[in-house]
Structure 1
Amino acid sequence: MKKESILYSVTPFDPYGHKVLVRLTLRNPEPSGQSFSLPAWIPGSYLIRDFSRQIETIQASSRGKPVGIRKTSNHTWQCDPCESTLELEYTVYAWDLSVRGAHVDETHAFLNGTSIFLCPAGREQEACHVDICPPPHARNWKVYTSLAEAAGHPRGARRHGFGMYAAPNYDALIDHPIEMGTPQVLRFKAHGAEHEMVFTGVAPNLDLKRIAADVQKICAAQIALFEPQTKQAPFLDSASRYVFMTMVTGDGYGGLEHRASTALMASRRDLPVIGQDKTGEGYQTFLGLVSHEYFHTWNVKRIKPAVFAPYDLSRENHTRLLWVFEGFTSYYDDLMLLRSGVIGESDYLRLLAKTIGSVQRASGRFKQSVAESSFDAWTRYYKQDENSPNALVSYYTKGALVALGLDITIRHASAGRHSLDDVMRLMWERYGRDFYNGAGAGIDEDAMAGLIHEATGVDVRDFIERHAYGREDVPLERLLPLQGISISWRPVSDNPTLDMRLRNSHGETQIATVYEGGAAHRGGLSAGDVLVAVDGLKVGDSAGFDRLLAAYQPGDTVIVHVFRRDELRAFDLVLNAPLASECVLEPASAVGKHS
């Protein structure tokens, strides 16, 4: 058998020290000196992560003799010329408990390719082989990944086994994360396509049967949305199955999409246990996360903005279209819970109302459009601070409302003949279905209005200009009644307010955000201040602060003592009336029934 041109071996050799050993063997290196690079960011998480900082040691050799290697930039290395096969050996520190990096201990190993696989320059399109090796003294560990087993290879891995895996190119290699260990596992099929869910971490009495039944419905509904005739799963172009990899923690939440898998973090209290029949809000949150990341299998992993086709992993890739790729996905994630039957209408409208309320509470929507927010993701959205609610808008949440507004507008203008579903299917057929089969095209920055018109016959140029590229609120008070849904607002509390967000930290109540124009802002309080007393009475935790305010009326003046750094300060503040910031939607049978 012909030797592999690019071969990696990966071993979590020091679980207690959280270290991974990677060996890279490269045949026919560049004669003038081969260079290598590690991605600066991971697709789906729009921030320069500098993964290369976790490479602790690196050395190169050829035919057993050392080859000089030096770092030439934050993310690149240059080897001296050599005449034969080049071998790199390097160690990676893996202690990032997130969906973006690598995490290794004695219980498991989770590896994102962007954290561990150096890319040989000029060889990005060549096939890669990966020998996944167990850590020392591993007992009963298995491998869970959507990477293809290297069929026919002498060390070709069996399903879930250690051994050789393969990817057609570097982009594919880093888009199939690897989980090793002894997780809880469930399996199901959706329209004939295999799916696995693995749960790492302590999750006693986990109701795997219920999770499998609910997630199967969600996956089947999404496959049918994009492929109503064939019911063909999208990931079969690159993998034989789809893998959900969930890290269970005390309070974790998050997800990151890949072409045939997703990495999730979930709080164990959000997961159902055997004997618990009610679908609580925590479990709905988890199912919404699953739905969101699975929808990305189409929308952003295959349907992409043009600037992502291909990615430039050495620097920021700016696009103004994340309101489409994240916002539309955020609209459909909860909607697919409804359409699949895992939640009812009233629960769906509660989730939608929560999204509407979160957008309305942030005054940053008047300063930034979702198109601007998309472009600024790298420097602003992913680098939020205490003032962000006053300065930013979320392309996730307001993007979801733009999608909702477009959907209702299309339905109404076409007398129910078309919807946003038709737009998604057109984008899938034109840009997504054959993306990894050589098409490789993406959506141009100014193409959305034209695509929507082509798919539905409805002119939405003015709507997009106002609500996506402009800063106007989506007119939901006018649009929702067209779907038979009433919208109203009610105070979140009967207490007067100082218009700020609090957090409990080490037994103290600290101001997290001061909302612009509110009572705290006018009175001089700032984010980071620690609340001490109101009119001489100790604050305690945030609930205690609310109890103190309950004794007053809007318009009353109170003296608030705070510590700012280590200095005691006093401020006179005039209390505001309760904010009418909780959105209420009345259930209606017209929601979500078109497909």
Structure 2
Amino acid sequence: MATPIRYSITSLDPASHVYDVSVTVDSPAPEGQVFSLPAWIPGSYMIREFGKNIVALRGESGGRKVQVRKLDKHTWQAAPCKGALTLHYQVYAWDLSVRTAHLDGTHGFFNGTSVFLAAHGFEQGQQVVEIRRPEGETFKRWRVATALAELKAKRYGFGTYVAQNYDELIDHPVELGEFALASFQAHGVPHDVVITGRVLNLDMTRLCDDLKKICEAQIAFFEPRSKRAPMERYVFMTLAVGDGYGGLEHRASTALICSRADLPVKGRPEQTDGYRTYLGLCSHEYFHTWNVKRIKPAVFAPYDLRQENYTSLLWLFEGFTSYYDDLFLVRTGVIDTDNYLKLVAKTVTGVLRGSGRKKQSVAESSFDAWVKYYRQDENAANAIVSYYTKGSLVALGLDLTIRQQTRGRRSLDDVMRGLWARYGRDFYEGVGRGVGEDEILALMEQWSDADLKGYYDRHIRGTEDVPLEALLPAYGVAYEVDLPKDARPWLGARVTKEGADAKLATVYEGGPAMQAGLSAGDKLVALDGLRVPAAGPDGLLARYRINDTVRIHAFRRDELMEFSVKLKADTAPQVSLKAVGKPVAVVRQREAWLKSRA
């Protein structure tokens, strides 16, 4: 039996934001062992060049120095040597996100893609990691949160952890520090909730109760008979900060960032918008346990972490997940129908605002994620569409269309369970394969008993808006489009603060600013002779009427320019959705959709 690849990770000085890492190969390749760090992390479709954060690297074998040559931006080769080979290296970690690594005197966090060099030729073998506590009194109360299996460590303690291969190793993020910890059982599987950061009067009991409902519903959704979860243990890891939002899925855990104000407070039973958003994020990442971590595009089975892996199916893996995340909140009673419809209406309004939806389909958006969605510029709203948000509306439209065509006998739920049974259930049992780019339409039609080709061509491969205005009334939901009653003059741009300046971040296609010649990046100086504050011109614009013309001075680079802008009303549709109470048959159809149980 091959000996495992052995890693160790610690920090000699967390204040330096540097992890000290080593990797040992007992039987290195005779021609010179090759190592590499991934260029991207699954779930975040952008080349991030993690190798750039390695600030020092050296090799040794038997106490002697071994020369290491860098082959490219993320690959190294050690000179041939006899006996075990160890690379010692340091990784700079100062990105406070869920995608990479972060370290200071308050906590540490890392994804394996940022810190663990893969030993080429040994990726399928066992990988063992010793996580060591930093030295010093400051760190004596630190603990370890991860879903990695313990080898020589107590749960939540420093020590040795194990993964059965490199793909598993990098699919278990690690949180280090002092954190609040609670647990609940979902259909017999332990689920741990870890909250790092200062949160006053955190109502962990309420949070666990709500998450338990969501997790049990999703487990039963995919396995209605056995109610068997695809993991032995699950960990929700959240870093609470002053202002933040984000999540990244993993096979048995998720890493989250939220604003501390979004978390529930003891003694305050009201449900805030922020808490609903946080629960939706948790639901989203948990649904990914099935949809993308096990049901995958064929190009992700396996991942090629050296370069982009192109797929036109992210509308299915991210868009469908974005549909089901809030749907499970209402199906479990965590939120009510009115609040659910408000969330959907907000998504519809946001999608309809961007003119990019008329130029790019969700299939194209998926394929171009590497160069467009994850690298958005000032023209993004005018050029691209989100496979998350429009993808969620595509899923909603598909669900209602299937229910309508089959008179309630089938739904999108049947499609998801079909995908799970064929592609996901046994993925990590050595027989996993991914969904082919050209087979998804046939699969959806097979499991739904519906004719979906027209819908697929128009709304997935094409750029037509999802016809929710026509679909929703049959399910007792009124679709209304209005301009705000207090519509005010609109500049047609998104303004951000940059130091003491108000900067145009986005200039919307066809809006007053673009028609007048203003451009993204321009810094507003004055409006009709009055200084524009850094917060933007809204306060000044409030004193004007629609169709008034104003004189704007702005700097473009170092040149002062003057523009004549005719103000308009913001004509972007404001969508509202409301549940209606009659007739009874329509209400029953809505309840079958929003209150269905596995």
TM superposition score normalised by structure 2: 0.95
* Alpha-carbon distance between aligned partners in 1 of 2:534 and 2:116, rounded to the nearest angstrom: 46
Unaligned runs of 5+ in 1: 151-155
Query: After the TM superposition, which residues 360-509 of structure 1 pair with which residues of structure 2 at under 5 Å, given as runs?
Result: 360-492=352-484, 493-509=486-502
- What secondary structure is seen at the aligned counterpart in 2 of 1:291? helix
* Alpha-carbon distance between aligned partners in 2 of 1:347 and 1:266, rounded to the nearest angstrom: 20
Does 1:216 pair with 2:217? no
* Alpha-carbon distance between aligned partners in 1 of 2:531 and 2:234, rounded to the nearest angstrom: 54
Q: Deviation at 1:229? A: 0.9
1:489-537: CA deviation from partner (whole Å, max 9, x where unpaired): 2224421212111223334322111110111111111112222322223
* Alpha-carbon distance between aligned partners in 2 of 1:453 and 1:123, rounded to the nearest angstrom: 41
Q: Which consecutive segments of 4 or more residues in structure 1 shift more than 3 A? A: none
| Equivalent AA in structure 2 for residue 312 of structure 1 | D
- What secondary structure is seen at the aligned counterpart in 1 of 2:422? helix
* Alpha-carbon distance between aligned partners in 2 of 1:554 and 1:63, rounded to the nearest angstrom: 79
Contact (CA 8 Å) 1:419, 1:594: kept in 2 or not?
no
Contact (CA 8 Å) 2:22, 2:86: kept in 1 or not?
yes
- What secondary structure is seen at the aligned counterpart in 2 of 1:377? coil
* Alpha-carbon distance between aligned partners in 1 of 2:71 and 2:361, rounded to the nearest angstrom: 38
1:201-255: CA deviation from partner (whole Å, max 9, x where unpaired): 111111111111111111111111111111111123xxxx101111111111100
Contact (CA 8 Å) 2:2, 2:125: kept in 1 or not?
no
TM superposition score normalised by structure 1: 0.96
Q: Which residue of 2 aligns with 1:143?
A: 144
| Equivalent AA in structure 1 for residue 87 of structure 2 | L
* Alpha-carbon distance between aligned partners in 2 of 1:162 and 1:271, rounded to the nearest angstrom: 28
Unaligned runs of 5+ in 2: 581-586
Does 1:522 pair with 2:515? yes
Q: Deviation at 1:111? A: 1.3
Query: After the TM superposition, which residues 34-49 of structure 1 pair with which residues of structure 2 at under 5 Å, given as runs?
Result: 34-49=33-48
Q: Deviation at 1:277? A: 1.4
Does 1:593 pair with 2:589? no
Q: How many correspondences in the alignment? A: 584
| Equivalent AA in structure 2 for residue 147 of structure 1 | L
1:273-301: CA deviation from partner (whole Å, max 9, x where unpaired): 21221111111111111111011000000
Does 1:123 pair with 2:96? no
- What secondary structure is seen at the aligned counterpart in 2 of 1:504? strand
* Alpha-carbon distance between aligned partners in 1 of 2:366 and 2:35, rounded to the nearest angstrom: 30
Q: Which residue of 2 aligns with 1:295?
A: 287
Query: After the TM superposition, which residues 3-152 of structure 1 pair with which residues of structure 2 at under 5 Å, given as runs?
Result: 4-137=3-136, 138-150=139-151
Q: Deviation at 1:541? A: 4.9
* Alpha-carbon distance between aligned partners in 2 of 1:374 and 1:334, rounded to the nearest angstrom: 22
- What secondary structure is seen at the aligned counterpart in 1 of 2:43? coil
Does 1:539 pair with 2:540? no
* Alpha-carbon distance between aligned partners in 2 of 1:255 and 1:550, rounded to the nearest angstrom: 37
Q: Deviation at 1:580? A: 4.2
Q: Which residue of 1 aligns with 2:567?
A: 575
Query: After the TM superposition, which residues 109-258 of structure 1 pair with which residues of structure 2 at under 5 Å, given as runs?
Result: 109-137=108-136, 138-150=139-151, 156-236=152-232, 241-258=233-250
- What secondary structure is seen at the aligned counterpart in 2 of 1:290? helix
Q: Deviation at 1:542? A: 4.5
- What secondary structure is seen at the aligned counterpart in 2 of 1:313? coil
* Alpha-carbon distance between aligned partners in 1 of 2:573 and 2:8, rounded to the nearest angstrom: 54
* Alpha-carbon distance between aligned partners in 1 of 2:340 and 2:361, rounded to the nearest angstrom: 26
Q: Deviation at 1:573? A: 1.2
1:337-359: CA deviation from partner (whole Å, max 9, x where unpaired): 11111100010000000100110
* Alpha-carbon distance between aligned partners in 2 of 1:270 and 1:395, rounded to the nearest angstrom: 25
- What secondary structure is seen at the aligned counterpart in 2 of 1:411? helix
- What secondary structure is seen at the aligned counterpart in 2 of 1:486? strand
| Equivalent AA in structure 1 for residue 544 of structure 2 | Y
* Alpha-carbon distance between aligned partners in 2 of 1:141 and 1:417, rounded to the nearest angstrom: 53
- What secondary structure is seen at the aligned counterpart in 1 of 2:11? strand
What fraction of aligned residue pairs are identical, expressed as a percent? 56
* Alpha-carbon distance between aligned partners in 2 of 1:5 and 1:166, rounded to the nearest angstrom: 9
Contact (CA 8 Å) 1:149, 1:166: kept in 2 or not?
yes
* Alpha-carbon distance between aligned partners in 2 of 1:550 and 1:158, rounded to the nearest angstrom: 61
- What secondary structure is seen at the aligned counterpart in 2 of 1:13? coil
- What secondary structure is seen at the aligned counterpart in 1 of 2:322? helix
* Alpha-carbon distance between aligned partners in 2 of 1:403 and 1:3, rounded to the nearest angstrom: 46
1:99-140: CA deviation from partner (whole Å, max 9, x where unpaired): 011111112111110011101111110011111111111212
Contact (CA 8 Å) 1:449, 1:459: kept in 2 or not?
no
- What secondary structure is seen at the aligned counterpart in 1 of 2:569? coil
| Equivalent AA in structure 2 for residue 522 of structure 1 | Q
| Equivalent AA in structure 1 for residue 20 of structure 2 | L
Distance 1:67 1:225, change over 3 A: same
| Equivalent AA in structure 1 for residue 405 of structure 2 | A
- What secondary structure is seen at the aligned counterpart in 1 of 2:474? helix
* Alpha-carbon distance between aligned partners in 2 of 1:333 and 1:5, rounded to the nearest angstrom: 38
Query: After the TM superposition, which residues 262-273 of structure 1 pair with which residues of structure 2 at under 5 Å, given as runs?
Result: 262-273=254-265
* Alpha-carbon distance between aligned partners in 2 of 1:249 and 1:388, rounded to the nearest angstrom: 28
Contact (CA 8 Å) 1:21, 1:89: kept in 2 or not?
yes
Contact (CA 8 Å) 2:330, 2:595: kept in 1 or not?
no
| Equivalent AA in structure 1 for residue 354 of structure 2 | A
| Equivalent AA in structure 2 for residue 71 of structure 1 | K
Does 1:283 pair with 2:284? no
Q: Deviation at 1:568? A: 2.4
Q: Which residue of 2 aligns with 1:510?
A: 503
| Equivalent AA in structure 2 for residue 397 of structure 1 | T
Q: Deviation at 1:41? A: 0.3
- What secondary structure is seen at the aligned counterpart in 2 of 1:406? helix
- What secondary structure is seen at the aligned counterpart in 1 of 2:368? helix
- What secondary structure is seen at the aligned counterpart in 2 of 1:49? coil
* Alpha-carbon distance between aligned partners in 2 of 1:209 and 1:434, rounded to the nearest angstrom: 34
Q: Deviation at 1:581? A: 2.4
* Alpha-carbon distance between aligned partners in 1 of 2:60 and 2:321, rounded to the nearest angstrom: 47
* Alpha-carbon distance between aligned partners in 1 of 2:416 and 2:126, rounded to the nearest angstrom: 32
- What secondary structure is seen at the aligned counterpart in 2 of 1:234? coil
Contact (CA 8 Å) 1:33, 1:80: kept in 2 or not?
yes
Q: Which residue of 1 aligns with 2:584?
A: none
* Alpha-carbon distance between aligned partners in 2 of 1:28 and 1:451, rounded to the nearest angstrom: 46
| Equivalent AA in structure 2 for residue 587 of structure 1 | A
| Equivalent AA in structure 2 for residue 173 of structure 1 | L
Q: Which residue of 2 aligns with 1:153?
A: none
* Alpha-carbon distance between aligned partners in 1 of 2:596 and 2:190, rounded to the nearest angstrom: 27
Q: Deviation at 1:186? A: 1.5
Q: Which residue of 2 aligns with 1:557?
A: 549
| Equivalent AA in structure 2 for residue 531 of structure 1 | L
* Alpha-carbon distance between aligned partners in 2 of 1:250 and 1:581, rounded to the nearest angstrom: 32
